Amino acid sequence: MENITVGAAAEWLRSLILYIIGNELLTDIVMKFVGLGACIAVILTAAIVLTYAERKVCAFMQVRLGPNRVGGRFGLLQPIADMLKLMSKEDIIPNGCDRVVWALSPMLLFVPSALIYGLFPFDEGAVFADVNVGVFLLLAISSQSVLPFLMGGYASNSKYAYIGGMRTVAQMLSYEAPMVFSLLGVVMITGSMRMNDIVAAQAENVWFIVLQPIAFIIYIITATAETNRTPFDLVEDESEIVAGPFAEYSGMRWALFFLAEYANLLSISILTTTFFLGGWHGPFLPGVVWFWLKVLLMVFVFMWFRWTFPRTRIDQMLSFSWKVLLPLALVNMMFTGIGVYVWRSMM
Amino acid sequence: MAGTETYTLNMGPQHPSTHGVLRVQLELDGENIISATPIMGYLHRGVEKMLENRTYVQGVPYTDRLDYVSSMNNNFGYCRAVEELAGIEVPERAEYIRVIVAELNRIASHLVFIGSLAIDLGASTGMLYTFRDREEILDLFNLVCGARMTFHYIRIGGVNRDVQPEFIEKTYKFLEHVPEFMEEYKKILLGNEIFMSRLKGISKLSQETALSHNMTGPNIRATGIPYDIRKVDGYSVYPKFDFNVVTGKNGDNWDRFNVRYNEIFESAKIVKQALDGLPEGPFMAKVPKVLRPPKGEVFSRTEGTRGELGFYIVSDGSTKPYRVHIRRPSFVNMQGLNDMCKGYLIGDSVAAFSAIDPLMGEVDC
Amino acid sequence: MFGKGLITGMRVTLKHFFGKKATFCYPEEKLPMPERFRGGHLKLDYKKCIACQLCSMACPNGAIELKVVTDAQRKRHLTSYIHHMGRCMYCDLCIENCALHSLHWDQNYEISAYHREAFDYEVLTDSDREYLKQVMEAAAANPAPPIVPKKPVPPKPAEAAKPEKEGEKAEEKTETEGKPNE
């Protein structure tokens, strides 16, 4: 069982293509496209599965049955129906909006959330781009998603959207800092920014959730804020600013926002798994199964947060980040540094 | 030269958290509220005028549509006013049944309050729980009067039909259930730190301000003034029951929430006592089929769910009232909105609307 | 400690996640409506009805539109009973005012419709019309003797066969109905 990995499958596919084409360079190019296709497939599948999962989790927590019409008793085809509905909706363009910026915003938002999938180690050897500054690149890319929100908010020519856009900037910037510092603890222990090394380090010793519990909690909180989910969903805050930057979008444009939201949800779950839960490692089952089990568990935890908590207020949220999370992350980093120093000198 | 200026944000009439069609003009400086002006009238149906064009008996179902979350209390208020005007003596059993259904409806209405406050603060699960438990009360009402929202159960001179033994039994069962679900709300909302921090110290009103706005009901009790017409006037059979007037201390949203939360227990207490002491007898007084109250006028007030619900009726001796005026507590309480929002953030304004607990059917009448 | 309340809340939602659900799959499972339930279409026991029009008069919204004929025996019958459901408040006043308890709800709550016309519901069924025809024919075969005028104002025998105007009828009814009660 241990031998069945996605990496091995990729190797096998590569040798097959090499056999057909007979050129190393061309094969590599083809393999890159295969990897790209796989990443996109993961995102799209995730969007479908996670919308269904979210509706069911939400319904079950709210003592409801959830979707149960389309596709049998359990409503399995509900996401497909939702998608068709979104595709067939009218594309409403608000009066007085900044057309170009307005149209670019949903597309640009989708790009960084899809891009970071290239960095995730799904299984042994299954990394699209195994960069040696993986963590750094990841944070750099994911912080790009601030801009499209602001663009959408600004270009919509709506006050609600504008407030939402401004809130996004404040929120995402202030939660970026503690997030980075919480991840630095992990990086310090591993001594590498390569994602594969981080996973490998956890396989050798223990999962980092044991070594870095505070960093884990900080990361979970900041990740919730970064993906704009309750209790930090102030960006789309439907009870105050209606839907924030999304308020004026409809149809497929809105669907792209939606897609990006679920891509983000999945990616923070994958990151939590990679950084703190030992990645693909686990006994008995193949790595890829372990990986997805852990990821889905994290997805459930994030959904669980969302359907339990009320949302915070903007000032509370920002002060929580700057006054609680950031000092905590720094202290955590200091103790990790001391710990790592002591450990190394003892070795 | 760069400068800052304020801007106006129209919240509503179509907005997810304005409880219907309230429009609030917020004058904002960034996220800070400078002033909040409620603009009402989007749901105006002319209920007062309608009542003037119907006979007294025909008017009762229209009062259902004022505060449609606690219709029983409206029926109660209107019927009491007409009875006072026409000098009708209501049998004791009818009074007991009225108190039972009115208090049950108060519980249902407060559950809606808790739920809507929860969803306005983003906790949609809390709202679903309250609506699940409110359903039990609606089922009870469906059993006794055949409707779930617009009951038209309390009539001039008594109640429409007698309560069934099944209703009494099920109500006892429901009362046993009350502490159970209240404990659950405590766990998911009341004890939740985020929920607390969203409400504590927000939208504070002093006793003087609240009085100057003529606020009534839970809103004034939250500031610490024990003004409850059930105690002050002691109308109907309320003096026979032992219950406390719940008051708050600070007059902030947290107190408003807690006052209503604890009033559910008090209402449950009243229902329990009324069920225990339910006397035998007729459930309807002898009321002439064509009611012609003598010439005169009356102002009768009852403690509605949202405050002092008053009906002012002038009779000219005919079958229809000459003039009806309704003192709607939601409308009067809305006047405090500006003071509750000023100086707080947009997020607090939503909590403030919810904490006033206005019902647009009643505000616009 | 900060966070305790959050954890308790999460315990509650997790319990309900695995617990029993409170909703039903509606069209498959229907909740029974209690006996007193007010809703749906009006149901008229046509044989009992004496076309007194009390129901229509009791309605606060004027949601009941009646057409009445008088047969040769000077008995009134309904030819049409339209329940304007769009106007109806389901306040039950018509049913309570029915002198002979011939009016009921059919307790069906599935009354939504795509078109407004569907809300002008005709209560009388074909069998009721059949019955009306029979009664009318029977009465025509055996007409009542003409009324001997007692008052100086003569009644209008010519108009007796025609459907009478509702307004006049209604006023007349109010007075006769009002007296014994007062």
Q: Which residue reads 């985020």 in tokens? A: B194
Determine, for residues C11 and B288 on separate chains, whether the beta-carbon distance falls below 8 Å. no
Does an H or E element contain A131, and which? none
Q: Report chain B residues whose CB lies below 8 A from the CB of C58.
A: 58
Nearest to C37 among B64, B132, B146 (CB): B146
Alpha-carbon distance A60 to nearest alpha carbon in chain C (angstroms): 5
pLDDT of residue C168: 46
Query: Could you write out the DSSP letters of every residue in C98-132?
Result: -TTS-EEE--------SSGGGGEEE---HHHHHHH
Chain A touched by C20 (CB under 8 Å): yes
Please list the residues that pair with B302 across neighbouring strands.
Answer: B309
Distance CA A145, CA A70 (A): 34
Determine, for residues C36 and B59 on separate chains, whether the beta-carbon distance falls below 8 Å. no
Interface test with B, best of A309, A314, A320, A324 (most B CBs within 10 A): A309
> Which residues in B72-102 are b (16+ Cβ under 10 Å) and which e?
bbbbbbbbbbbbbbbebebbbbbbbbbbbbb
Pick the closest to residue A269 from A36, A50, A57, A48 (CA basis).
Answer: A50
Tally of CB atoms within 10 A around B29:
11
* C-alpha dihedral sign at A87, A93, A99, A105: negative
Q: Report chain A residues whose CB lies below 8 A from the CB of C22.
A: 63-64
Whether the per-residue pLDDT at A330 is higher than 80: the answer is: yes
Tally of CB atoms within 10 A around A69:
12
Give burial (CB, 10 Å; 0-12/13-18/19+) of B191. Answer: middle
Determine, for residues B194 and A310 on separate chains, whether the beta-carbon distance falls below 8 Å. yes
Note whether A114 and A43 are within 8 A (CB): yes
The string of pLDDT tens digits covering residues C56-86 is 888 888 888 888 888 877 888 888 888 888 8
Distance CA A123, CA A103 (A): 36
Domain C38-141 architecture: 2-Layer Sandwich (3.30)
Note whether B71 and B305 are within 8 A (CB): no
pLDDT of residue A120: 78
Alpha-carbon distance C19 to nearest alpha carbon in chain A (angstroms): 8
Alpha-carbon distance C114 to nearest alpha carbon in chain B (angstroms): 23
Whether the per-residue pLDDT at A196 is higher than 70: the answer is: yes
Q: Which residue reads 């997030």 in tokens? A: A179
The nearest alpha carbon in chain B to C89 belongs to B61
Determine, for residues B193 and C6 on separate chains, whether the beta-carbon distance falls below 8 Å. yes
Task: Report the share of chain C in percent with pLDDT over 70.
Answer: 81
The nearest alpha carbon in chain C to B320 belongs to C60
Q: Which CATH superfamily is domain B44-364 in?
A: Cytochrome-c3 Hydrogenase, chain B (1.10.645.10)
Does an H or E element contain B346, and which? helix B346-356
A223-244 mean pLDDT: 80
pLDDT of residue C9: 80
Q: Which two tokens stand for residue C122?
A: 């005709």
Does an H or E element contain B308, and which? strand B308-315
Q: ipTM of this model?
A: 0.82
Distance CA B220, CA C169 (A): 53
Determine, for residues C60 and B289 on separate chains, whether the beta-carbon distance falls below 8 Å. no
Distance CA B24, CA A46 (A): 40
Mean pLDDT by 10 residues, chain B (365 residues): 81 80 86 87 87 88 87 89 88 89 90 88 86 89 87 87 88 89 86 85 86 88 88 86 87 88 90 88 85 88 88 89 89 87 86 86 83
pLDDT of residue C179: 41
C86-99 mean pLDDT: 86
Residues 6+ apart with CB under 8 A from B29: B4, B6
- Res. A126 pLDDT band, cuts 50 70 90: low
Q: Which residue reads 């006794």 in tokens? A: B144
Nearest to A63 among B124, B128, B197 (CB): B128
Angle at B235 between CA B234 and CA B240, to 5 degrees: 60
Determine, for residues C16 and A60 on separate chains, whether the beta-carbon distance falls below 8 Å. yes
Give burial (CB, 10 Å; 0-12/13-18/19+) of C154. Answer: exposed
Chain C touched by A65 (CB under 8 Å): yes
User: The sheet that has B308-315: what strands, in order across it?
Assistant: B296-303, B308-315, B321-327
Whether the per-residue pLDDT at C159 is higher than 70: the answer is: no
Provide the residue type at B365 as one letter.
C
Alpha-carbon distance B29 to nearest alpha carbon in chain C (angstroms): 32
Determine, for residues C5 and B132 on separate chains, whether the beta-carbon distance falls below 8 Å. no
The domain ranges of chain B are: 44-364
Alpha-carbon distance A59 to nearest alpha carbon in chain C (angstroms): 8
CA-CA-CA-CA torsion for C59, C62, C67, C70, nearest 10 degrees? 40
The domain ranges of chain C are: 38-141
Distance CA B99, CA B237 (A): 8
Nearest to A308 among B121, B125, B348 (CB): B125
pLDDT of residue C181: 42
Q: Report chain C residues whose CB lies below 8 A from the CB of A64.
A: 21-23
Q: Which two tokens stand for residue A118?
A: 């290239």
Note whether B26 and B36 are within 8 A (CB): yes
Residues 109-168 of C with CB under 8 A from B: none
- Describe the crossing of helices A326-346 and A159-190 by its angle, rounded to 10 degrees: 10
Distance CA C103, CA B32 (A): 60
Determine, for residues A63 and C6 on separate chains, whether the beta-carbon distance falls below 8 Å. no
pLDDT of residue B312: 92
Report yes or no on whether pTM surpasses 0.80.
yes
The string of pLDDT tens digits covering residues A64-94 is 888 888 877 788 888 888 888 888 888 888 8
The nearest alpha carbon in chain B to A229 belongs to B122
CB–CB contacts below 8 A, A to B? 79
Chain C touched by A271 (CB under 8 Å): no
Distance CA A96, CA A115 (A): 32
Tally of CB atoms within 10 A around A52:
21
Q: Report chain C residues whose CB lies below 8 A from the CB of A57.
A: 17
Residues 9-48 of C with CB under 8 A from B: 9, 11-13, 22, 33-34, 36-39
Determine, for residues C19 and A63 on separate chains, whether the beta-carbon distance falls below 8 Å. yes
Alpha-carbon distance C6 to nearest alpha carbon in chain A (angstroms): 7
C171-177 mean pLDDT: 44
Alpha helices (H) in chain A, listed in sequence order: 6-21, 24-61, 78-88, 99-115, 134-142, 146-155, 159-190, 195-204, 208-211, 213-226, 251-276, 287-306, 314-319, 326-346
Nearest to C93 among B58, B142, B189 (CB): B58
pLDDT of residue C176: 43
Q: Report chain A residues whose CB lies below 8 A from the CB of B15.
A: 242
Determine, for residues B9 and A160 on separate chains, whether the beta-carbon distance falls below 8 Å. yes
The string of pLDDT tens digits covering residues C129-149 is 888 888 888 888 887 777 777
The string of pLDDT tens digits covering residues C98-116 is 888 888 888 888 888 898 8
The lowest-confidence range among A110-119, B186-195, C61-70, C150-159 is C150-159
Nearest to B58 among C13, C36, C60 (CB): C60
Alpha-carbon distance C101 to nearest alpha carbon in chain B (angstroms): 15
Provide the residue type at B78 as one letter.
Y
Q: Counting every residue, how long is chain B? A: 365
Write the DSSP symbol of residue B246: P
HSE of A51 in the Cβ direction (CA atoms, 13 Å)?
21
pLDDT of residue A256: 84
Determine, for residues A65 and C14 on separate chains, whether the beta-carbon distance falls below 8 Å. no
Nearest to B143 among C11, C34, C39 (CB): C34
Whether the per-residue pLDDT at C171 is higher than 50: the answer is: no
Which is more confident, C164 or B322? Answer: B322
The domain ranges of chain A are: 94-346
Task: Report the share of chain A in percent with pLDDT over 90.
Answer: 0
Chain B touched by A292 (CB under 8 Å): no
Q: What is the pairing mode between strands B308-315 and B321-327? A: antiparallel
Distance CA C41, CA B173 (A): 33
Nearest to A314 among B9, B31, B120 (CB): B31
Angle at A76 between CA A71 and CA A78, to 5 degrees: 80
Q: Which long-range contacts (CB under 8 A, 24 or more apart) does B335-338 make?
A: B335/B213, B335/B214, B335/B215, B336/B205, B336/B209, B336/B210, B336/B213, B336/B215, B336/B219, B337/B24, B337/B36, B337/B38, B338/B35, B338/B36, B338/B37, B338/B38
Residues 6+ apart with CB under 8 A from A9: none
pLDDT of residue C169: 46
Chain A touched by B195 (CB under 8 Å): yes
Q: Which residue reads 């206005």 in tokens? A: B358
Torsions phi, psi of A81, nearest 5? -65, -40
> Which residues in A100-121 are b (16+ Cβ under 10 Å) and which e?
ebbbbbbebbbebbbbbbbbbb
For chain B, what is the total number of helices (H) and then of strands (E)? Answer: 15, 8
Interface test with A, best of C1, C4, C17 (most A CBs within 10 A): C17
Determine, for residues B347 and A240 on separate chains, whether the beta-carbon distance falls below 8 Å. yes
